[in-house]
């Protein structure tokens, strides 16, 4: 269980905001199916951010997140960094480590308030934890 207190001043970054879903923002899956039947059918067949009407799209989302991750790494070449962000952004970071592009369907389960850890070992990155929620469990 992770049980450390972090004393830091947050530094907000628009580069780490969640993907913009255009006309789909705030809608339930039922509403999507009703209002955007062709796009929703395409999404259910093969999830892709590129079918979302007016959305950010996969390539711009991944580029934005990776640009911000590069900037964070450049500012902290020798130290630990805590990044608090959204599930989609975490997915992009995990995909980056495993060398897989992100296009819509996220293969990692990311719960709210979970912890995922990416470590730099020598000159490469390694995923050492994904979706850890043990810190949310009541003390026994």
pLDDT tens digits, 13-62: 999 999 999 999 999 999 999 999 999 999 999 889 999 999 999 999 99
Question: From CA 111, how far away is CA 93, in angstroms rounded?
Answer: 15
CATH entry, 15-136, from 3.40.50.1240, 3.40.800.20, 3.40.50.10190, 3.30.70.260? 3.40.50.1240
pLDDT tens digits, 79-132: 788 999 999 999 999 999 998 877 766 788 899 999 999 998 888 899 999 999
**pTM for the predicted model, two decimal places:** 0.85
pLDDT tens digits, 66-84: 999 999 999 988 878 899 9
Question: From CA 90, how far away is CA 131, in angstroms rounded?
Answer: 10
10 Å CB burial of residue 50 (0-12, 13-18, 19+) is: middle
Of 54, 2, 66, residue with least CA distance to 27: 54
122's tokens: 């020598």
């Amino acid at each position: 269980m992770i049980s450390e207190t972090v004393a830091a001043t947050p530094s907000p970054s628009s580069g780490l905001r969640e993907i913009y879903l255009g006309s789909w923002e705030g809608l339930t899956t039922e509403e999507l199916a009703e209002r955007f039947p062709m796009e929703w059918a395409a999404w259910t067949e093969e999830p892709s951010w590129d079918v979302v009407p007016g959305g950010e799209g996969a390539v711009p989302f991944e580029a934005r997140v990776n640009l911000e991750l590069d900037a964070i790494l450049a500012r902290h070449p020798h130290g630990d960094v805590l990044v608090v962000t959204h599930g989609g952004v975490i997915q992009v970071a995990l995909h980056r480590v495993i060398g897989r592009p992100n296009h819509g369907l996220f293969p990692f389960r990311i719960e709210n308030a979970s912890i995922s850890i990416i470590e730099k070992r020598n000159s490469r990155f390694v995923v050492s934890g994904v979706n850890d929620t043990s810190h949310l469990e009541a003390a026994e």
